[in-house]
Amino acid sequence: MGVPPSAGNPRHGVGHRRVASVEQGGTVPVRQGSRPFILRRAQPARFDQRGTPVKRRTLVALGVTGAAIAVLTTPAAAQTSDTSAAVQAVLDNVWVLVAGALVFFMQAGFALLESGLTRSKNVTNIMAKNLADMSVGVLAFLAVGYALAFGAGNAWWGTEGFFLSGSALFEFGSSGVGNLSTATFFFFQVVFAATAVTIASGAMAERARFKAYLLFSLVMSAFIYPLVVHWTWGGGLIADISIGGASYSDFAGSTVVHSTGGWAALMGAMFLGPRLGKYGPGRTPRPIPGHSMPMTILGVFILWLGWFGFNAGSELAADGVVMVVALNTAIAAAASTLTAGAVVWLKTGKPDVAMAGNGTLAGLVGITAGCATMNVLGALVTGAVAGVLVVYSVFFIERKGIDDPVGAVSVHGVCGVWGTLAVGLFARYDDAFLGRDNAGLFYGGGGWQLLVQLVFVLIVLAWTVVTTGILFAMLRRFGVLRVSAAEEARGLDLAEHGAGAYPADPMPRDERAYEQP
């Protein structure tokens, strides 16, 4: 997802299409949208069944075409052309709004996924955090984040557009992004910002104070995530980096959104420490089962649905690229579901449904960067590898003493990195947003694209780890990061919110000691 030519981003272009021609007998490479090169060889003169030379028919066709051009240049035709452009503008805005609504609905998917993978005594808290990060995120991004991300300024941050000031909100094209109005573009971007924030919720589940999460949501939405966006989709620091003629490519945000959220989740989990009872003697990890597998898998399906809006909506127009993106998204998710399920089956002897669900999400995260620049084979391999990576990453992180109840670091952080690097391997199509070719290593692009993708990943990793690390360290220093042992054992639903998700459930016996007289 990027920004086409605008006053603030003159370096960027949208809809890169080229048609080259050669003399008869040569080849004509044709590139349209995100389709690969098609070599068409000119043919010698042929005759139809009546013996009429094909060349004569061609001349007749050219005459008809000339007459059509003459008709189309009349005032009536010009009016029709204006009408078509207006219709296209409406379609573009409607499509991006619908896609944004699908991304918004992903919050419900995250809420169900996280709730299902945690214990019943913490479900209300999970729901409250998802409700809060969307609400806080919208206002923080409105006030500060959008201006920092997309406002005119310098390579580091934007300095204009706070509270959406200085822009005609509802005029088509007012955002500087194709036909999109500022209102449409803001709506699509703010639900992305909320997604980056909510990724960390699951990794911090069952022991973080609600007010600490509110502060994290505010800082992430207003400052940390918007600067990553400005450096990339906003045409700033990272977009300016060119190595061997190659520049970063992240169509819908494997790194911009998901790795940023994933590394924030990692720092949150590390500074919080593991849940009570997670590790036994010798730091041996113990399973803490979630309370509802149906909620988990329903959450996965909702996220999968929302991802079609996440990825395909990032085209920011209603055109043919949307179909390519949707297809690649479905293929990668299916492949990763099966490979994750197969690997965990081989490792544990059981086809773990929760891990297969995380495999689905891993493939979706992985394909997000290259969904518009890969062909079907690239999407298949990217998804399949993501499914394997997420299983080994979950077990590795758990062994290292980092308690991530939902596997957010593995799904979003690790597989976000993989998806970004995969562009440097499998990208075959031109980057529709940045107006350039970003061929991967296996498609004749050499290793430059892979190298620049790695640099891009490392910059975002360093920024997110440092900033969120400072934030969580401060929250822990002032004693507001983690609940007490008594509150954790009782459950955050009652301790933090005073309302359980399932009030008819009796309190577990080992928690009765924490009841207040």
Query: Residue 25 above 70 pLDDT?
Result: no
Q: How confident is the model at residue 6 (pLDDT cuts 50, 70, 90)?
A: very low
Can you give the pLDDT at residue 83? 84
Lowest mean pLDDT, pick from 69-83, 150-164, 238-252, 494-508: 69-83
Alpha helices in 353-447 (DSSP H): 353-368, 376-399, 408, 415-426
Of 229, 240, 248, which Cα lies nearest the Cα of 451? Answer: 248
The overall longest dimension of the chain from CA atoms, in Å, is 103
In the chain, the amino acid numbered 508 is P
* Token pair belonging to 269: 């989990």
In this prediction, residue 510 has a pLDDT band, given cuts at 50, 70 and 90, of low
pLDDT band at 20 (very low <50, low <70, confident <90, very high): very low
Indicate whether 357 pLDDT > 50: yes
Q: What percent of the chain has pLDDT over 90?
A: 75
Specify the CATH number for the domain of residue 236.
Answer: 1.10.3430.10
For 462-508, the pLDDT digits (tens) are 999 999 999 999 999 999 999 999 999 999 999 999 999 998 755 55
Eight-class DSSP state of 327: H
Query: 514 lies in a domain?
Result: no
Residue that is written with structure tokens 């959406």 in the block: 164
Residue 273 maps to a domain: yes
The range of the structural domain enclosing residue 360 comes to 83-494
Q: With bands split at pLDDT 50, 70 and 90, how would you rate the model's confidence at 75? A: low
Whether 380 contacts 331, CB under 8 Å: yes
Three-state DSSP at 437 gives strand
pLDDT, mean over the chain:
86
Q: What is the pLDDT of residue 417?
A: 98
Q: What is d(CA 425, CA 379) in angstroms, rounded to the nearest whole number?
A: 11
Mean pLDDT of 92-101: 98
* Cβ–Cβ under 8 Å, residues 373 and 36: no
What is residue 517's predicted lDDT score, i.e. its pLDDT? 45
The answer on pLDDT for 17 being more than 50 is: no
Looking at the structure of the chain, the number of domains it has is: 1
Q: Which of 62-66, 123-127, 378-382, 422-426 has the lowest mean pLDDT?
A: 62-66
Q: Which residue has the higher pLDDT, 85 or 31?
A: 85
Distance between CA atoms of residues 326 and 142, nearest Å: 29
Average the pLDDT over each of 165-179, 326-340, 368-382 and give the range with the smallest value: 165-179
**In this structure, what DSSP letter does residue 404 have?**
-
Please report the pLDDT score of residue 4 as a whole number: 38
- Rounded distance between C-alpha atoms, residue 501 and residue 423, angstroms: 43
Whole-angstrom distance, CA of residue 156 vs CA of residue 130: 30
Q: Quote the DSSP letter at residue 50.
A: T
Amino acid, res. 15: G
| Domain assignment present for 20 | no
What average pLDDT does the segment 388-403 reach?
A: 98
Task: Judge whether 427 lies within some domain.
Answer: yes
Question: Does 324 reside within a domain?
Answer: yes
Rounded average pLDDT over 438-463:
92
Residue 78 confidence (pLDDT): 58
Residue 218, pLDDT score: 98
Distant-in-sequence, close-in-space partners of 431: CB < 8 Å, separation ≥ 6: 2, 16, 249, 251, 372, 373, 437, 438
Alpha-carbon distances of 417 from 229, 368, 414, 485, rounded to whole Å: 16, 11, 5, 35
Q: Is the torsion defined by CA of 265, 145, 422, 448 positive or negative?
A: negative
Q: Do 382 and 369 contact (CB within 8 A), yes or no?
A: no
User: In whole angstroms, what is the distance from residue 226 CA to residue 190 CA?
Assistant: 10
In tens, the pLDDT along 295-315 reads 999 999 999 999 999 999 999
Other CB atoms within 10 Å distance of the CB of residue 301? 14
Sign, CA dihedral 76-82-86-89, equals: positive
- Residue 262 above 60 pLDDT? yes
Please check the confidence at residue 199 and state whether its pLDDT lies above 70: yes
Res 439: pLDDT: 85
Q: Which residues of 358-379 are buried (b: 16+ CB within 10 A; e: fewer)?
A: bbbbbbbbbbbbbbbbbbeebb
Establish if 9 belongs to a structural domain: no
Answer yes or no: is 242 within a domain.
yes
pLDDT value at 137 more than 50:
yes
The half-sphere exposure of 314 on its side-chain side, counting CA atoms within 13 A, is 32
Give the tokens for residue 465.
């780890």
> Is residue 12 pLDDT above 60, yes or no?
no
Q: What is the per-residue pLDDT for 428?
A: 86
Q: Is residue 102 pLDDT above 80, yes or no?
A: yes
Question: What's the mean pLDDT in 116-132?
Answer: 97
Angle among Cα 457, 376, 92 to the nearest 5 degrees reads 75
pLDDT band (50, 70, 90) for residue 276 = very high
Is residue 444 very low, low, confident or very high in pLDDT (cuts 50, 70, 90)? confident
